[in-house]
Amino acid sequence: MLSHHELATLLLIRDANTPLQTIDSDFLALQHYRLVEMDDEEGETALRLTTRGHELLRRLTHEEGGEIEGFGEA
Q: With 0-12 CB in 10 A as exposed, 13-18 as middle and 19+ as buried, what is 31? A: middle
Per-residue CA distances from 41 to 38, 44, 46, 61, 68 (Å): 10, 5, 8, 30, 27
Per-position pLDDT tens, the chain of length 74: 899 999 998 998 888 866 676 778 888 999 999 999 988 777 777 788 999 999 999 998 876 655 545 554 44
DSSP state of 69: T
pTM to 2 decimal places: 0.72
User: In angstroms, rounded to a whole number, what is the distance separating the alpha carbons of residues 45 and 70?
Assistant: 27
Q: How far apart are CA 15 and CA 43, in angstroms?
A: 23
